[in-house]
Amino acid sequence: MYRKYQDLRVWNNAMQLVEYVYRLTSNYPDSEKYGLVSQMRRAAVSIPSNIAEGNGRGSDKDYRRFLTIARGSLMELETQIILSARLGFVQNDPSAEQLIQTIYGQLNGLMNSLRVSEDEAGYAPSSRL
């Protein structure tokens, strides 16, 4: 069933995180332009992009797979933000940490709801993700 991804809170929060990362990395040293900055921006953009792509795939199983990829990119980005703080490029930002935790929970919730809908339809395999 098609759900307009732009209406999803998780997609909107992920877009907010992308904007945050772009602003954050604009102040990084020029030497990181093709290193950490590029990596962080790609990871951030991957999160809402995979939510949208999964939404358009047409099956809950495919949608869950893309949400799993989005969650992996979120964890990658979190690690890069932690590294940035350790390298002294940024200070720890509790609001960014909270947004990451929120998105993580929302992704898990959406993935679980898709799994439940498959279970109810009788499509789910016996093993769980």
pLDDT of the residue at 40: 98
DSSP helix/strand/coil, 35: coil
pTM exceeds cut of 0.85: yes
Distance CA 49, CA 15 (A): 9
Instruction: Using alpha carbons, select from 122, 8, 126 the residue that is nearest to residue 60.
Output: 122
The CATH number linked to 23 is 1.20.1440.60
- What confidence tier does 116 reach under pLDDT thresholds 50, 70, 90? confident
Asked if 13 and 106 touch (Cβ cutoff 8 Å), the reply is yes
pLDDT of the residue at 86: 96
Asked if 50 and 60 touch (Cβ cutoff 8 Å), the reply is no
78 within a domain of the structure (yes/no): yes
pLDDT of the residue at 126: 41
125 within a domain of the structure (yes/no): no
Q: Which two three-digit tokens encode residue 94?
A: 């509790």
9 within a domain of the structure (yes/no): yes
Domain residue limits at 26: 5-119
124 within a domain of the structure (yes/no): no
- For residue 101, how many other CB atoms are within 10 A of its CB? 12
126 within a domain of the structure (yes/no): no
What's the number of domains the chain is made of?
1
128 within a domain of the structure (yes/no): no
Summarize pLDDT for 25-76 with one digit per residue, the tens. Answer: 999 999 999 999 999 999 999 999 999 999 999 899 999 999 999 999 999 9
129 within a domain of the structure (yes/no): no
pLDDT of the residue at 129: 37
127 within a domain of the structure (yes/no): no
